[in-house]
């Protein structure tokens, strides 16, 4: 069985979010599981630079101009790159310019990605042809529509990483992207008078997956469905929607092997974690105090992530003797709010605006608690990394957070499954109650250590996800 992933990001070459982590790890896990897996991605500069030995396997004229298809290997995975100089050879983000404005030709850039994904299923590379084309998020959504238009030369899977991003473009582009106008209706890719690249994936894929079982259910409800809930509820009823949980790449996230940490440790040598905490406190200008629990945020700064609630709850957290470390960037108002808190509470709050992969590892290794109070969270990877590092997640019970973190309730402690702290309602009061319960557990060091060991023993490997996807592909075949 041959599988082609169609996507717009690939860790560590190009990353703006969790999608890159998934596509950077899942194909390798699938290859290890016995599935012949490759990846198709635009030849963005960072991708081209990271795969220097690529060879041209096809040249063709398309609706978007002349295109070369390159093929090379990265970390043992075969990567196809679409070279279209005018469309992809741009610095910075794959999606927007230096001023954060979306490129006006994104409709064409990502239509071409989907079109080439379909051409691969039709035999564009004469030496390798996929049985399954697996498209990721709106950027690759048109892949499924093109496959439909070409008579479904391969089975298709579409994975929703975040339903909030829908890839909406003017209907006038239908001719230019060479899709039949019969596809432009509510039983197709039309969404409120526009083309929705996301809906193209949801409607035309043979099977839709979400990145956690709870999120797969949530997106069938108006609160989380972003206008797609009726279509998704229909897919669920037909047995064409399911949730497969993301995993963690042990080559990258393992406190026993992580060279970015000051001290490495495992479940049995947790005392070594204290040195990472001390170094983190020094680096962030906090008072060095092993008795003060360090709460951390590593996140995009958006309302979706519930970080306005963290600002609201912060006085209560500090009043109980806690410290806060934050690494992230995003909403200007939230950035200013956290910078002001750091200025107001020197020695207790440390803030670094921006994102640095290496420093995120140091935070995972040094913090005591990671806060992920999201309003919605398709899967979430931060809490999975935290669990591996014995840094207890404090999360809102939604999406993948609900599937991966077990609250340290008396019952869960007794059953040996407690791994963090959960709260229900998206408000600061509910968050503060969870923070308070974290302090109660912190005051019992032996119990805290017990929960850390439980958390570090949980299995969220990509091998589990790879097996689930293989079973799905086999059902489709």
pLDDT at 131 over 90: yes
> What pLDDT digit, counting tens, does each position of 164-179 carry?
999 999 999 999 999 9
What's residue 435's pLDDT? 98
At the topology level, CATH places domain 2-247+462-476 in Rossmann fold (3.40.50)
Q: What is 267-456's CATH superfamily?
A: Glycogen Phosphorylase B; (3.40.50.2000)
Task: Write phi, then psi, for 49 (nearest 5 degrees).
Answer: -65, -35
- Is the pLDDT confidence value at 16 over 90? no
Q: Give the integer Cα–Cα distance in Å for 312 and 373.
A: 12
pLDDT in tens, 46-66: 999 999 899 999 999 999 999
Percentage of residues in the chain having pLDDT higher than 70: 100
Nearest residue to 373 (alpha-carbon basis) of 442, 441, 449, 317: 317
Residue 99: the pLDDT is 82
| Confidence (pLDDT) at 336 | 97
Order the strands of the 168-170 sheet from edge to edge. 168-170, 194-196, 190-191
Q: What is the pLDDT of residues 288-347, one digit of tens each?
A: 999 999 999 999 999 999 999 999 999 999 999 999 999 999 999 999 999 999 999 999
Q: Where in the chain is the domain with CATH 3.40.50.2000?
A: 2-247+462-476, 267-456
pTM: 0.90
Average model confidence (pLDDT) for the chain? 96
What percent of the chain clears pLDDT 90, i.e. is strictly above it? 93
* pLDDT, position 242: 97
pLDDT in tens, 238-292: 999 999 999 998 888 999 999 999 999 999 999 999 999 999 999 999 999 999 9
- Residue 193 scores a pLDDT above 80: yes
From CA 424, how far away is CA 373, in angstroms rounded? Answer: 10
pLDDT for res 250:
87
Please give the pLDDT value at position 404.
97
pLDDT of residue 59: 96
- Cα–Cα–Cα angle for 23, 29, 31, rounded to 5 degrees: 105
Query: Does 15 belong to an annotated binding site?
Result: yes
Q: What is the pLDDT of residue 100?
A: 81
Q: What is the pLDDT of residue 199?
A: 98
Give CA–CA dist 384/450, Å, rounded. 18
What is the per-residue pLDDT for 92?
77
Find the mean pLDDT for residues 57-77.
Answer: 96
The pLDDT assigned to 426 comes to 95
């Amino acid at each position: 069985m041959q599988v082609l992933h169609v996507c717009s990001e690939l860790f560590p070459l190009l990353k703006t979010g969790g999608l890159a982590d998934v596509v950077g790890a899942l194909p390798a896990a699938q290859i290890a599981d016995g599935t012949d897996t490759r990846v198709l991605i635009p030849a963005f500069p960072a991708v081209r630079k990271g795969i220097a030995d690529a060879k041209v396997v096809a040249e063709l004229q398309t609706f978007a101009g002349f295109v070369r298809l390159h093929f090379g290997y990265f970390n043992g995975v075969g990567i196809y790159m679409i070279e279209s100089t005018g469309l992809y050879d741009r610095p910075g983000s794959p999606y927007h310019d230096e001023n954060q404005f979306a490129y006006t030709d994104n409709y064409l850039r990502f239509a071409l990605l989907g079109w080439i994904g379909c051409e691969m299923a039709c035999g564009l590379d004469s030496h390798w042809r996929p049985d399954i084309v697996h498209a990721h998020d709106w950027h690759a959504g048109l892949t499924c529509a093109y496959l439909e238009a070409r008579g479904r030369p391969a089975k298709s899977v579409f994975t929703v990483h975040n339903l909030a991003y829908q890839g909406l473009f003017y209907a006038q582009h239908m001719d230019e992207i060479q899709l039949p106008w019969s596809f432009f209706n509510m039983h197709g890719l039309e969404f409120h008078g526009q083309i929705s690249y996301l809906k193209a994936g949801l409607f035309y894929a043979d099977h839709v997956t979400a990145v956690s079982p709870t999120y797969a259910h949530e997106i069938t409800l108006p609160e989380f469905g972003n206008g797609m809930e009726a279509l998704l509820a229909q897919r669920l009823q037909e047995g064409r929607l399911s949730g497969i949980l993301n995993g963690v790449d042990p080559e990258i996230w393992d406190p026993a092997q992580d060279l970015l940490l000051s001290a490495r440790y495992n479940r049995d040598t947790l005392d070594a974690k204290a040195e990472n905490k001390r170094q983190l406190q020094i680096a962030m200008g906090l008072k060095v105090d092993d008795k003060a629990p360090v709460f951390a945020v590593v996140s995009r700064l958006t309302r979706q992530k519930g970080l306005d609630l963290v600002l609201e709850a912060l006085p209560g957290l500090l009043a109980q003797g806690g410290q806060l470390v934050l690494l992230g960037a995003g909403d200007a108002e939230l950035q200013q709010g956290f910078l002001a808190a750091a200025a107001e509470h020197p020695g207790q709050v440390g803030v670094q605006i921006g994102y640095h992969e290496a420093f995120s590892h140091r935070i995972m290794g040094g913090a005591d608690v990671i806060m992920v109070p999201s309003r919605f969270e398709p899967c979430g990877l931060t809490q999975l990394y935290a669990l591996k590092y014995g840094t207890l997640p404090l999360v809102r019970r939604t999406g993948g957070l609900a599937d991966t973190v077990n609250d340290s309730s008396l019952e869960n402690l007794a059953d040996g499954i407690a791994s963090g702290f959960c709260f229900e309602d998206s408000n600061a009061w509910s968050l503060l109650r969870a923070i308070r319960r974290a302090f109660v557990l912190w005051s019992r060091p032996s119990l805290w250590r017990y929960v850390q060991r439980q958390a570090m023993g949980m299995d969220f490997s990509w091998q589990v996800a790879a097996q689930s996807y293989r079973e799905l592909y086999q059902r489709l075949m």
